[in-house]
Chain A
Amino acid sequence: MRAPQPSQTRKPPMSTTTLEDTERRKAWGFVAPALLWTIAFFVVPFLFMAAMSLWSRQSGQIVRAWNLDNYIAFFAKDSLFKGLVNSLEITLIVTVLSVLLAYPLAWIIAERVPKRLQRLALIMAVLPFWTSYVVRSYSWLLVLSKNGVINQTLMTLGLVSEPLEIASNRTATVIGFVHFFVMLLTLTIYANLIQLSPNYRRAAADLGANAFQTFWHVILPLTLPGIMTGAFLTFVLCIGDYVTPQILGGNNELVLPQIIMLQLGRRADFPMAAALSIILMLAVTVAYALCARWLKIERA
């Protein structure tokens, strides 16, 4: 218990509490809930997981002894390391394919479709993705499986005698991913294309460039930010996805998220799952570092 002090001796001089101080205290009050939420449910769990990746699981118990065993095991065990290789391969193939397919579409929407129909064209491109994310991969099974739409069509037409193996493998995973990311990249590249001043193209033509030269020297470099933003998003979302490869990949070439889920499920090896997650994050960080110089570009 503290006795109340005489007010004259404890009260700070009036001048220390300025208008700015009151305002600042209020502002902290506004921003605090969001900051605390992020710290409590994102930063702390993440640090916790990072710490756990340095523990290990021995005979069913999590041992809190600090070591790098999980990381060493990752590089030593082919079954784990192959997951990262598969993830990177699939992600790179998907990113490149999606960019190549999306760029012409974005260009056609921006250049060939009349202005008033462009919004509709974009809405139509996004429309099929308003089904459930899980269902989207499933519906590719209907198309690609042995008795699916493609194989039955091809066999009815007599083009093939045996069903093609296009489901439950890497091809199916790539198709499922490209389907989504073509849409996403079309949006980012389109957004980049339409905000270019039409005068860039006019200036190039005026100075004697033909259509290809205008595209190669002017339009393509100026849309690089849109391409790289989309490509980076593709990379991040693709490499971290569990659902698409799990449904379409048929369990033969596991990717990193699938291996993480395996650690959680059958083996309950949380430390190993944590270590693999950290490795997944490092891969994304490296990708970011590689793209960073295009993710922000100077504009005149």
Chain B
Amino acid sequence: MRDTLTKFASFAYAGLIYGFIFLPVAVLVLFSFQDGRLPVPPFNGFSLQWYEAVFADRKLMAALANSFMVAIVSSVIACLLGFLAAYALARYKLPGSALQRGLLIAPMTVSYLIIALGLLTVLNTFGIKLSLWTVGIGHVVINLPLCFAIIYSSMGDHHINIERAARDLGASDFKVMTLVTAPMLLPSILAAFFLSVTFSWDEFIIAFLLSRFDVTLPVEIWSLLRSGLNPKTNAIGSLVFLVSVAVLAVLELTLFGRTKKS
């Protein structure tokens, strides 16, 4: 009796919290189909007009492409630099390696706003023009610690002898790294890459402060918000949500689902 009661209370509580977590996104998606000018009740009927408006908006589409570019390029750079640094620090004894690790991780502990502001002051002082490149530089700064930490922590000592065996069999440093080390660490490199893409894709404050004419999607959405409650904002938000969930589902079923089964 007492057991069924706690069970009921548990699931009621979980239901409430899940309801709280899902409420805004449910409202967001529902009213993206609103047949009217206001994305709030009453729901006037189903319409795709706001999605049409999103696809017709050249600035939004350009921002989408920009975001994608910045995310991919900055993540590739962050992963590459993170991997090389992790390889060096995990495999070789370098003086001050603890200090080096600390330095590489440090940006993770600082607010994005402060990182952006620091970069902005330097760029201003040296007269460097703001562009998608400067946004990308900022995104590498925030994602490099992440990539380094993920890859470094997966470089176990048990891999050392596999690499030694490859070297012993005549592989050069480059071949060891590309044919042995990187494939062994592929799951964590991919995890670092996708996480990094996600963070860059969604990042606002650095993109906002370090871009000028070409902007990323979050910055473009930010300027949409000035028009107040607008079903078009719902539509672009829902699109991002649905596409992300689809990508996530595909990744879960293919990439990560496979490792779970074996």
Contacts and interface: CB of A to CB of B under 8 A. Distances in A.
A219 interface: no
Nearest to B217: A132
30 contacts: A26-B92, A27-B88, A27-B91, A31-B85, A34-B144, A35-B85, A37-B144, A38-B141, A42-B106, A45-B121, A46-B118, A49-B118, A108-B11, A112-B7, A112-B14, A128-B241, A130-B248, A133-B202, A134-B222, A136-B25, A142-B40, A145-B40, A147-B40, A152-B42, A179-B24, A240-B111, A240-B112, A260-B113, A277-B113, A277-B117
Given A49-B118, A240-B112, A31 B89 contact: yes
List of 9 A-B pairs having minimum Cβ-Cβ separation, nearest first: A240-B111, A45-B118, A135-B237, A27-B92, A30-B88, A34-B85, A131-B241, A139-B24, A130-B244
Nearest to A29: B88
Contacts of A48: 118, 121-122, 125
B92 A23 contact: yes
Please indicate which of the listed interface residues B113, B205, B209 has the most CB atoms of chain A within 10 Å of its own CB.
B113
Interface stretch (A70-78, A119-127, A194-202): A119-127
B229 interface: yes
Contacts, number: 231
Contacts of A43: 103, 106
Interface of A: 23-24, 26-31, 33-35, 37-39, 41-46, 48-49, 52, 101, 104-105, 108-109, 112, 123-125, 127-128, 130-136, 138-143, 145, 147-149, 152-153, 179, 182-183, 236, 239-240, 242-243, 247, 257, 260-261, 264, 270, 273-274, 277, 280-281, 284, 288
A139 B115 contact: no
Given A38-B107, A136-B24, A288-B109, 8 more contacts: A38-B103, A42-B115, A48-B121, A108-B13, A147-B38, A179-B20, A239-B111, A242-B204
Contacts of B39: 142
Nearest to A23: B92
Interface string B156-170: 000000000000000
Interface in B102-138: 103-104, 106-107, 109-115, 117-122, 124-125, 137-138
Contact of B111 (A39, A135, A236): A236
B84 interface: yes
B218 A132 contact: yes
Nearest to B198: A130
Contacts of A152: 40-42
A31 B233 contact: no
B194 to A, nearest CB: 12
Interface string B28-67: 1001000000111110000000000000000000000000
Interface string B215-258: 00110011001000100011011101100110010001000000
Contacts of B25: 127-128, 131, 136, 139
B218 A130 contact: no
Contact of A125 (B18, B106, B124): B18
B190 interface: no
A280 B103 CA distance: 20
Please indicate which of the listed interface residues A112, A139, A148, A288 has the most CB atoms of chain B within 10 Å of its own CB.
A139
B232 to A, nearest CB: 11
Contacts of B38: 147
A177 to B, nearest CB: 13
Contacts of B120: 264
A284 B24 CA distance: 30
Contact of A149 (B40, B89, B238, B248): B40
B178 interface: no
B8 to A, nearest CB: 11
Nearest to B27: A142
A131 B244 contact: yes
